[in-house]
Structure 1
Amino acid sequence: MSSKRMLIDQELIALLKNGDRDAFAEIYRRYWTVMYMHALKMLRDEDDARDIIQETFTSLWLKRECISSDANLAGYLFISTKNKVIDLIARKRVRLDYLDSLAAFAEANSNQTLERIEEKEIMAALKKEIAQLPLKMKQIFEMRIHQHFTYKEIADELDISDKTVKKQISNAIRIIRPKLNHLSAIVLILSGL
């Protein structure tokens, strides 16, 4: 593996094209951080940036045979990362547009069926955001939301302080609220915690 560190990018590409996993590992080691920082700068979200870089390197491995031997590896990775970021932003924008249009439709045509649809959408969006919380924060937040435990009950159950529980719930709300700010019912739910 250490011998791969001395190779130039074109030599690594040649080895990669032949399925050399050590060459791929060296490319990954050499470019992961710079690609991650590139994605993070555009997205301003660490998890999304990590996901994008994972996709970039997965794509590199899957398309390795199609890469030109004289390709600029850094340029290839930068463009691939940029394109994946643009795709992610477009998907998120479509999702937000969909949720906004659904909210506008529900507001204009308020009836029980629409209220149930909106409630399901809100709860699904909230559930999705809760699932993305760090494990301990998620556990505490779910105990508060779903099991209606008091801060003291959660603290006793998990053998942590009340202040830790309060801080974890506060952090969870701070993370979730901006992502679901366009759903007014969520803001009301989170305000009651």
Structure 2
Amino acid sequence: MTVYSKLPDTELTTLLKDGDQHAFTEIYNRHWKLIYAHVYKMLRDEDDAKDVVQEVFGNLWLRAASIKSATNVSGLLYIAARNKVFDLIGKNKVRADYIGEIASFISDSSNAQVDTIDEKRILEILEREIQKLPPKMREIFELSRKDDLSHKEIATKLNISEQTVKKQVQNALKVIKPKLNDMGISIAFLLLLR
């Protein structure tokens, strides 16, 4: 008789792929508290956190057959939970001031399972922050970062001084960078904030 509690995650994952409900139950019991703790830390709402975790484990069971054999189930659960939290944020079901709470989850060095950040979502968050800038500052920032215009070109185009352009770009960065840095995001700056 198999003692599931003594099996490593890799064996449990193989059994799960074959539809073994006891393997799923062991994975659930082994990882639920930790996944819940991370989700709750980001959302600060018990009901939302429980819903997210339930959905993550429900999807794990429903998609068990498609899991790759060498998959680290712990990492899979972390990434799925993170993506569900991003979905909640994207649908405005969580207040915007909780975005900063994602930082401790994404940048947590003990959380080695989360190796990559979904760049598309980062860019969506970055774009949302840019859209919150005052109109003139946003226009100057977008001309600088998106259209790759120099400060001189922007000054000429908008009929303002280069110093004003420089100051507006610096102010925009001062507003945007801390919000993204709080989330442990530096990839966005490599792509857009050079």
**TM bin (shorter chain):** 0.3 to 0.5
Greater relative contact order, per chain length (Cα 8 Å cut-off, separation 6+): 2
Q: Looking at secondary structure, tell me which structure has more helix per residue.
A: 1
Higher alpha-carbon Rg: 1
